[in-house]
Structure formats: C-alpha cells, structure tokens
Amino acid sequence: MTQQYQQTQQHQQNQHNPSSQSSQTPRPCKLALEDGLVVVGEAVGYHGETGGELCFNTSMTGYQEIFTDPSYHGQIMMMTYPHIGNYGTADIDMEADEPMVAGVVVRAFSRRYSNAMADESLEDFMTRHRLVGISGVDTRALVLHIREKGVMNAVISSVDLDDDSLIEKARKWPSMEGLELASRVTTKEAYAWSEGNGPRIAVYDYGVKRNILRSFEARGCAVQVFPAGTDLAVVKTWSPDGIFFSNGPGDPRSMPDDIEMVRAAMTLGVPLFGICLGHQLMSLAAGLDVYKMYVGHRGANHPVQNIRTGAVEVSTQNHGFAVSADSLKEGVAELTHVNLNDRTVEGLRYHAFDGFSVQYHPEASPGPHDSQYLFDDFITAMSRKSTSA
C-alpha cells in the first residue's frame, strides 16, 4: 500500500497474540468525521491511524473481497452488516495482493472465526497488512448520517484520542473529488495473466479486480495486463482482439491522459469493454459527462435492468461517480442498463465504435453472478470481429 496516502503508524503492536479473545482489554479507538462527529470504539486489526473518505457497503458477505478491491483504494470502508470477520480470510478471496481500503469500521468485529476454508482470522490479516480498524461503533447511525450529509472524509485512530486533533486531521485529508488514484494501484509492469487459445484481451489496469481477470481466463482468453498510461502503440504490438478498461479508484475527470488513450483506442477497430472506472473513462472519451454522486452505490443487491431484454440482474456496485443520464441526449451511446432504484446509468453501448461498458461489477466477488453474460458478450464481439476480418 502506498505510504504517502496510507499514513499508518506502527504502535504497540501485540506481535504474538493479536487474535486473543474478548478477555483481552479492548484498546480504545476513535473515528472522527470532518463535520465534527466523533465516535468511540475499540481498535481492531493494526493499531495506528488512518484517514480517507468514509463510505459504506451493504453486502452481508464478502468483506475480504471488498477490503482488497482496488476501487476502494484510499477509502475508509464501513460495513453495514454488524458481524464482520465471522469466516476469517482466505487467499482465494483476495482481489489484489493486499488490502486496498484505508481503514475499516464495523459494529461487531469477530476476532474468532469459523470456516474450514479459511487461512487466518480477519484480525491477523489486518494486523499483518497494517490495516487499521475500529469496532463497536453504531454503524447504522453513521450510515444515516452520511446518507443525510453526503460522503465525507474521516480519520480512525487508536494513537491519538484527542477529538479536536482528529477532526482537524479529517478536515485536512485530501478530498476524493478531483483526485487521480489509478496510478497508485495499477501494475508497475505489464504481465501476462493467462495464456489461452481464445481471444486476446489487453487489460488497461486502473486497479483491476482479480475476478475480472479470472472471468476472462475461465473463458479461455489470453489476458495481458498493462499499466495505466501504457502507450497504445505498445498495446497494439501485442495485437489484442479486444481492449478492456478496468475498474479502479478516483475521479475519472482527473484522468485526461487516460481519456485521450481510450479515445485513441476507439479508432483501433477492436471491441472495447469497460467496467466501473473503465466505463466512466469510455463515456468521457465518447463525450458524455460524469458527476460525483451525493452518496455512492456500494453493495451487492442493486437491481439493474437490461433494457434490451427487460431482465433484471441483481448486481454488485461500487462507485461514487456516475455517467450523467442527461448527457445521453447527444446520441453518442445507447442506454443498455439502468438502475431500477434511482434510474442512474448502468450500461452503455456506443454508436461511434464497437464497445460497451457497465457501471456495475459483473465479475461480482463479492455478489451475485447474474451479469456474467457480459464477459461472454465481449468474447462474442471479439470473435465476430475476427471472423469478419
């Protein structure tokens, strides 16, 4: 995790027995919001201090996937489901090499876990990865607070318990709006994820979730992952059948170079597919507008309607920015998917080039598998291209 952003400090870490039981005296910890609200709880995971935008996720399972999702880079993740840690952690549930969230807020942390498939407790996992957390706080009250006041920055600390000092730190924390973060989580070097006889997919990594790569791999694709900002010419030399723009953190409007790159890719004549941040970049490149939402969508239960078929997919969502539905009037893209709760844009097919993108997460992990057909659609598009070529 990038040190300049995640200002964790090692402090009195219990090296030998971090997961000892409730008999252990809880270490006090505080969560301070930039609007002055301070709540007290107990420290879980790594003992230290951290800050970021406080957001919440309503998934009742899948905490490890969420904590390691690069799209959450730099955010403090509050889980609405009270018991977190119940089934421990396992290597197969990693969506990146390490946790990506800046901190964790829960109501009732399970230091002890039960699942034969698990490798270690969430407590040990967080400690090992220097992930700071707070437990025992009224998460529901905080969710309602954010719902009303909008997302805001916050600081968690078990080393500084002075309210005023913490509020000040939260206020000074850089705002998410206008922040480019993809460069902090993208791969340093290009690498091959999978060799396959199927279509060749070039992945622009803005913080790609592993399950996206696994989803392509499962369909026999050859997947090559490129760092964000890789010159399109380099990608071309790999001769991809399609280009995928990944999910990732940050404000897409602060990524002019990447948008330019996507725009150039549109002229290559290969199918393009984007998820989440990739979807927003494709929209911006096509001339659509993106705005920051008052409260984002983060959960695994959002209904998305496929406008072509009428079918509804229960989807995994994780975004604080969205494509403006008003900007669709220009006619650059067809709305293919819409959120049934608030009618926000969930999917687009572009007119000027062979490409589609979705705001939500068909790779799930965590979440329902209802939308996996989108990966098939992309493969179909690439196959169509190669047969017609």
Partner 1 sequence: MPKRQDIKKILLIGSGPIIIGQACEFDYSGSQAARALRDEGYEVVLVNSNPATIMTDPVTADKIYLQALTPASIKEIVEIERPDAVLPTMGGQTALNLANELHQKGYWEKMGVEVIGVDIDAINITEDRQQFRDLMEKIGVDQARSRVAKSLLEAKEITQELGGLPVVIRPSFTLGGSGGGIVWTPEEFDKKVMRGLELSPVHEVLMEECLVGWKEFELELLRDANDNVIIICTIENVDPMGVHTGDSLTVAPSQTLTDKQFQIMRDAAIRMMRSIGTFAGGCNVQFALEPATGRMIAIEINPRVSRSSALASKATGYPIAKVAARLAVGYTLDELPNEVTGTTSACFEPSIDYVVTKIPRFNFEKFEGVDEELSTQMKAVGEVMAIGRTFNESLQKAWQSLENGYAGLGADREESSRLEIRNRLRKSYWDRTLQIRNAFRMGASVEEVADVSRVDPWFLYQIQDIVAIEDRLSGLALSQIDKDLMRLVKRNGFSDVQIAWLVADDVTEDEVRAHRLALGLKPSFMLVDTCAGEFPAQTPYFYSSYETHSESPVSDREKILILGSGPNRIGQGIEFDYSCVHGVLAAKELGYEAIMVNCNPETVSTDFDVADKLYFEPVFWERVLDIIEHEKPKGVIVQLGGQTALKLAARFAGSGVEIIGTSYANMDLAEDRGQFSDLLKELDIPYPPYGRARTPREAIETAEEIGYPLLVRPSYVLGGQGMRIAINKEEVEKYVGQIWKLLPNNVILLDLFLENGIELDVDAICDGEDVWVAGIMQHIEPAGVHSGDSTAVVPPYSLSEAVQEKVRTYVRQIALRMNVVGLVNVQMVVKGEDVYVIEANPRASRTVPFLAKAMGIPISNIATKVMLGRRLAEFRDAGLLESKLTGYAVKEPVFSWDKFPEVRKELGPEMKSTGEAIAFIDDFDDEAFKKPFEMRNLYLSR
Clarify whether 361 is annotated catalytic: yes
Q: Is 22 in the site for partner 1 (CB under 8 A)?
A: yes
Report the residue from 264, 314, 332, 335 that binds partner 1 according to the rule CB under 8 A: 314
Closest approach of Cβ 143 to partner 1, in Å? 4
DSSP string, 4-53: TT------S---S-TT--TTSPPPEEEEEETTS-EEEEEEEEB-SEEEEE
Q: Is 305 in the site for partner 1 (CB under 8 A)?
A: yes
Which of 197, 254, 225 minimizes the C-alpha distance to 383?
197
Indicate the residue among 72 and 204 with the shorter CB distance to partner 1. 72
Closest approach of Cβ 341 to partner 1, in Å? 4
Indicate the residue among 314 and 335 with the shorter CB distance to partner 1. 314
Q: Which of 276, 279, 302, 313 is catalytic?
A: 276
Indicate the residue among 222 and 338 with the shorter CB distance to partner 1. 338
Closest approach of Cβ 116 to partner 1, in Å? 5
Closest approach of Cβ 376 to partner 1, in Å? 16
Q: Is 198 in the site for partner 1 (CB under 8 A)?
A: no
Q: Total residues at the site for partner 1 (CB under 8 A)?
A: 57
Cβ distance 296 to 55 under 8 Å? yes
Closest approach of Cβ 199 to partner 1, in Å? 25
Q: Is 344 in the site for partner 1 (CB under 8 A)?
A: no
Give the total residue count for the chain: 389
Burial grade of 370 (CB within 10 A; 0-12, 13-18, 19 or more): middle
346 Cβ neighbours under 8 A, 6+ residues apart: 304, 315, 337, 338, 339, 358, 359, 360
Indicate the residue among 4 and 114 with the shorter CB distance to partner 1. 114
Q: Which stretch binds partner 1 (CB under 8 A): 231-239, 260-268, 278-286, 363-371?
A: 363-371
Report the residue from 7, 11, 38, 90 that binds partner 1 according to the rule CB under 8 A: 90
Give the 3-state secondary structure of residue 385.
Answer: helix
Clarify whether 168 is annotated catalytic: no
Separation in Å, CA 270 to CA 55, 222, 334, 382: 36, 15, 19, 7
Q: Is 341 in the site for partner 1 (CB under 8 A)?
A: yes
State the amino acid at position 40 in one-letter form: V
Cβ distance 276 to 357 under 8 Å? no
Cβ distance 372 to 275 under 8 Å? no
Which of 223, 224, 233, 229 minimizes the C-alpha distance to 206?
229
Closest approach of Cβ 75 to partner 1, in Å? 16
DSSP string, 48-107: SEEEEEEEEE--SS-HHHHHT-GGGTTEEEEESSSEESTT-B-GGG-SSSS--SSEEE-S
Q: Which residues bind partner 1 (CB under 8 A)?
A: 21-23, 39, 56, 58-62, 65, 80-83, 86-87, 90, 92-93, 107-108, 110, 112-118, 138-141, 143-144, 147, 295, 299-303, 305, 310-312, 314, 340-342, 364-369
Catalytic (active-site) positions: 276, 361, 363
